[in-house]
Every structure is written in C-alpha cells, then in structure tokens.
C-alpha cells in the first residue's frame, strides 16, 4: 500500500479503509473480515452481536446530550466484488488490496477492484464507532455479508435484530445524490448438456478482451460493450463456415458487465481462408462501432493446439443463436422518473466445458411485474434452445418514500452547506434497503456516499475530495437527527423472506 494514503483527510476513514483492505473479503468468503470487524468492536468495549447468517451488529451509546435523538442504523456490506485484469496475478482469497493515489485526486488499486464499494462505507462507520468527540445519537452499526452475490445477509435478517428508527445506508456512489429507492433483481440461469464429438479441422482461440466492464445496474445504460454478446456475433458468423465450439468462457460475476470472453473453436480446413476473410471484416466493424466507448478492446484469432472433440455443428448453432437472441441492456426506461432505467438484463456469464453449458443473467427492475416479465421472456428463449431455466436469488426493490423525515433533514442541510439542491433519486441497482424494509416497514431509510467510479471493475476508484465532502456532510447529519418518537414495527417479527 502507498503510505501516503494514511495521510489523506479524513485520516480516520483512510486509516480504517487501509486496515479493512488488508483483509481478504470476497463475497461468500467473509469469515476473515467478519472476525476483523467483530474484534474491532470488542476492542472498543462495545456490544457486538451476530445473527444466524453472519451479519454483525455493533452498538454504541449516544454522545452526551444526544440521548433524546432517534437511534440510527448505519449500514454497509463487508464483501467486495473481486475482479482483476487478465494480466494481473492476484489471489483475492489470500491477498489484501494494493492501493495507490492516482493524480493526487483518486485512490485506486493495482489492476484489481478497489473495494471502495462498500469499503468506504464500512470504514466510515468504523470511524464513528471509535470516535470520542463526534456528536451522534445512539448508533447500531450494521455490517451485512454477501451483498454482491446474492444479498443473503440482508435476506437473512430477521425482525427484532435492529431497533433503530432511521437507517443510513452508505452504499451510494455519487456525492450529490440522496437515494430513496432502488431496483429489485433475479438471477436467470440456463443450463444444458451436450455430447462432444470427434472433430477434424483447424483449431483456433478466439479472444475478445479489454472492455471497460462495470456495474451491471448503474452503468447498463452507458452503451458499454458486453463481451459475451460481442463474441457471439463472431461465433455466429463462423457458423456458416462449419464452426464448432469446444470450450468457451465469458464474464464472471452476475452484477458486472463482462469484460473478457474467449472460445476454442474448430473450423473445417477447407473453409478457413473464407472464414478468416469474413472474420476480419466483422472484427473491424465491431471495433469501429465501439471505438469511442471501448477504445482498449482487442479481438484476436490465434492458432491453438489441435482440438480433438467439440460440440456438434447443430449444438454449436443452437448455443450461439441462443446467446444472440438473449436480451441484453436497457429493456425499459421509467415513465415516471427522468433518466431512470426501469428494467434491464445483463448476460453476465457464459460457460461451455466438458459437456455442459451455462448461461447466467441478472435481470433488474424497479417494477416487480416487469422484472418477472423480462425474466420469463428470457426463459422462453432459452427453453426454445433446449435449456433448463431456473430463477434464484430474487430480491425486492425499495419503494421511494418522498415524505421521509430524514430525507427532509438531509435535503435542507445539503442546501445550507453547498448552496444547491441534492439530487433525490432512485437507482437502478440492488441496495439492501429494499430487503431490510421488508421486515422493518417503519424504518426511515436513505442511501448516500462519496463519488466512486468503475465499481465492479479494475478501474474502480474513489475521489479523495469527495470522501472529505461526504464525511463533513455525515457529521452534520448526525448532529441533526430528529428527536425520538414512536415507530411502527408491527411487522418486525414477520418471518424471514
């Protein structure tokens, strides 16, 4: 790590973020970071609780004179998206993130995701917990697990674990926004088996890489390339020359726009010259189409070791055309909120290996019925290709509450501090607030945070000046938390969703 990071302001946040980033914390492998945050709370002499799914709750009493304010829940998730550039050797299970300061403006990582999503939020909460001179009401620091690959921490939360009346989620990535709603999502997985056959032809490795990638919700409307969809165009071209697929992998995580895909293919030797000519034409077309937004994209076709077995030509055709037909990108914009994506799909992960095919999509929508409709549309297309389709990991959206008391406080404070109105928005991403609100319907929730760009990709970075703004804003918010009053938790003991 660049030690200059420890000298950045606010020092408490950067100290804690550096300590956090020294601990491996992939989704579904949070035990090390759970123990880290549990020890942190215990070393401060604070009450630490855990629930049956692994979430951690640390309670801190109110600052003297703030005892009559509403108890707040400060919430962030412990896990991070683990993505790296293809040429980087890095083990997210054992290594801490290697950070550095870029252009005196940003903190980023060496060829991997940074983990500012949601590590800056975690570090901020840690800084409040260890503070001795920051006025704040009673705090419940709520650290969830597995937000990035299933939201199982939020889904496993039961009524009665939290007692706060206001929830501050620190997982928004633009510092002039106050999020009061978000999209729900569902994983759509299509699987199929095939019998490989002996092949005789010329073997190639087709690779498409160098795309930006990014968050499959927040950035789905930016026109970024999807490596799975783009390589499918090249494979589809090859079908007319007898192309057969032996092995393919594309993308990684369901919530990341895929950056790299590759396929090992066989083409009848007699058709190779014609195939290469057609390939070069399409390759040039794709690069030209995306030259503005994906300037680092590369597409290569290389000779490889002789391939002995592959999918049949018919199976290859069905597979490729299924990928071609699968909807990807923005399905519908919101008719109610300007510039908000309502419904989308990301063709996130594609695998062909050892007689098995798997296609994984993440479908999102702020309208539950439209989420279901798009998922069913994908299912219909996959089933026409002979695939078995399952839906999993479904989670609800978060319905906006424009009359929120904490929203009024934070809007007024933002205008007072910065001389302009904040953007009150709903986001096309999966925040845990929607799930938490299922068992805590009276909880007044809002999400905010500093500027983070490139989340879910190795280009992730957090703006230093924005962290300073975020911290200053948060400290003033804590001073203005409303006086305590009754809250309706009538559904707080409903069964876990």
Sequence ranges of the domains in the chain:
3-183+398-479, 186-395
pLDDT of residue 494: 29
The string of pLDDT tens digits covering residues 122-177 is 999 999 999 999 999 999 999 999 999 889 999 999 999 999 999 999 999 999 99
* DSSP characters over 217-282: TTTTTS----HHHHHHHHHHHHHTTT-EEEEEEE---TTEE---EEEEEEE-GGGHHHHHHHHHHH
Which of the four pLDDT bands, split at 50, 70 and 90, describes residue 400? confident
Residue 200, CB-side half-sphere exposure with 13 Å CA sphere: 1
DSSP strand pairing (166-169 vs 72-77): parallel
Residue 296, CB-side half-sphere exposure with 13 Å CA sphere: 10
The CATH topology of domain 186-395 is Alpha-Beta Plaits (3.30.70)
Q: What are the start-end ranges of the E strands in 11-71?
A: 47-50, 56-60
Which of the four pLDDT bands, split at 50, 70 and 90, describes residue 336? confident
Nearest Cα residue to 410 out of 458, 473, 452 = 473
| CB-CB neighbours of 47 under 10 Å | 12
List 30, 117, 140, 147, catalytic entry: 147
Q: Angle 295-221-176 (CA atoms, 0-180°, nearest 5)?
A: 100
Q: Looking at the whole model, is its pTM more than 0.95?
A: no
Strand partners for 301:
206
DSSP-derived secondary structure letter, 216: T
The residue behind tokens 């300037």 is 295
The predicted model gives 314-325 an average pLDDT of 98
Which of the four pLDDT bands, split at 50, 70 and 90, describes residue 294? very high
Whether the Cβ atoms of residue 217 and residue 428 lie closer than 8 Å to each other: yes
Cα dihedral value 348, 352, 357, 362, nearest 10: 0
CA distances from 280 to 80, 202, 298, 302 (A): 38, 17, 12, 12
Confirm whether 79 is a catalytic residue: yes
**Which top CATH class is 3-183+398-479?**
alpha beta
Compute the mean pLDDT over every residue in the chain, rounded to the nearest whole number.
Answer: 95
Q: For residue 67, is pLDDT > 80?
A: yes
d(CA 46, CA 128): 12
Which of the four pLDDT bands, split at 50, 70 and 90, describes residue 430? confident
């Amino acid at each position: 790590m660049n030690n200059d990071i420890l000298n950045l302001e606010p020092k408490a946040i950067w100290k804690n973020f550096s300590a956090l980033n020294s601990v491996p914390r992939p989704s579904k492998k949070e035990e090390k970071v759970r123990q880290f945050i549990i020890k942190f709370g215990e070393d401060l002499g604070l009450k630490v609780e855990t629930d049956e799914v692994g979430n951690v709750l640390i309670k801190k009493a109110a600052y003297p004179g703030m005892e009559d304010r509403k108890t707040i829940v400060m919430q962030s998730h412990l896990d991070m998206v683990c993505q790296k550039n293809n040429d980087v050797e890095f083990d997210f299970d054992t290594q801490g993130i290697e950070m550095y300061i870029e252009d005196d403006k940003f903190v980023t990582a060496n060829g991997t995701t940074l983990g500012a999503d949601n590590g800056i939020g975690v570090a901020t909460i840690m800084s409040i917990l260890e503070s001795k001179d920051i006025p704040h009401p009673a705090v419940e620091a709520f650290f969830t697990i597995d937000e990035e690959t299933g939201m199982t921490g939020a889904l496993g939360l039961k009524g009665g674990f939290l007692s706060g009346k206001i929830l501050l989620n620190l997982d928004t990535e633009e510092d002039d926004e106050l999020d009061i709603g978000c999209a729900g999502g569902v994983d759509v997985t299509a699987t199929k088996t095939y019998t490989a056959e002996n092949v005789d032809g010329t073997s190639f490795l087709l690779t498409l890489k160098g795309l930006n990638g990014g968050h499959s919700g927040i950035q789905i409307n930016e026109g970024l390339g999807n490596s799975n969809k783009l390589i499918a165009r090249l494979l589809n071209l090859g079908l007319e020359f007898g192309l057969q697929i032996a092995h393919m992998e594309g993308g990684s995580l369901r919530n990341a726009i895929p950056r790299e895909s590759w396929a090992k293919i066989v083409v009848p030797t007699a058709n190779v010259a014609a195939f290469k000519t057609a390939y070069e034409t399409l390759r040039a077309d794709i690069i030209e189409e995306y030259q503005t937004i994906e300037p680092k994209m590369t597409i290569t076709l290389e000779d490889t070791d002789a391939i002995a077995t592959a999918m049949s030509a018919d199976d290859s055709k069905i597979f490729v055309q299924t990928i071609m037909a699968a909807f990807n990108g923005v399905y519908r914009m919101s008719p109610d909120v300007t510039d908000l994506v309502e419904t989308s799909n990301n063709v996130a992960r594609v695998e062909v290996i050892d007689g098995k095919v798997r296609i994984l999509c993440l479908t999102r929508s702020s309208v539950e019925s439209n989420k279901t409709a798009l998922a069913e549309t994908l299912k219909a297309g996959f089933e026409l290709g002979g695939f078995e389709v399952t839906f999993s990991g479904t989670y609800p959206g978060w319905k906006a509450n424009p009359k929120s008391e904490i929203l009024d406080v934070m809007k007024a404070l933002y205008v007072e501090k910065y001389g302009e109105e904040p953007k009150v928005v709903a986001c096309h991403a999966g925040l845990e607030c929607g799930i938490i609100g299922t068992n805590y319907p009276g909880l007044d929730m809002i999400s905010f945070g500093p500027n983070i760009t490139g989340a879910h990709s190795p280009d992730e970075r957090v703006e230093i000046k924005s962290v300073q703004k975020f911290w200053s804003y948060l400290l003033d918010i804590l001073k203005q938390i409303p006086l305590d009053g009754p809250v309706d938790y009538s559904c707080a003991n409903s069964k876990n969703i």
